Amino acid sequence: MDESAIPVNRMVELPEETRQFLAGLSRDDVATLRTGLPIIKAIVGFGKVTKWLAIASLGILGGVVMFGESVMKIVSWFRQ
């Protein structure tokens, strides 16, 4: 959006549904949205980090199990 445009023309680029939603907001609603958006962004970001931590943990667990089985197989070769 063009920030230098007058408010009426600035919202022309937005979809009609979005303009109606924004037109119905009170000052308190706008303040709530401004304080809530950073929280939502943090939650979404934390979810992505948590997903990759879980994937990495499962990968490490699988690697440790495979390594242990290989060590046990090598030890059994020397015991024979």
Per residue in 38-60, pLDDT (tens digit) is: 998 998 889 889 999 999 999 99
What does the alpha-carbon distance between residue 35 and residue 53 come to, in Å, rounded to a whole number? 28
Question: What is the predicted pLDDT for the residue at 3?
Answer: 66
Confidence of residue 1 (pLDDT cuts 50, 70, 90): low
- Quick one: average pLDDT of 31-37? 90
Residue at 74 is within a domain: yes
Among 6-20, 41-55, 56-70, whose mean pLDDT is lowest?
6-20
For 61, the enclosing helix (H) or strand (E) is helix 27-79
The count of structural domains within the chain is 1
What does the alpha-carbon distance between residue 10 and residue 18 come to, in Å, rounded to a whole number? 13
Contact criterion met (CB below 8 Å) for 1 and 10: yes
Residue at 21 is within a domain: yes
pTM of structure: 0.50
What does the alpha-carbon distance between residue 47 and residue 41 come to, in Å, rounded to a whole number? 10
Residue at 2 is within a domain: no
Domain of 20, in residue numbers: 7-79
Question: What is the predicted pLDDT for the residue at 13?
Answer: 85
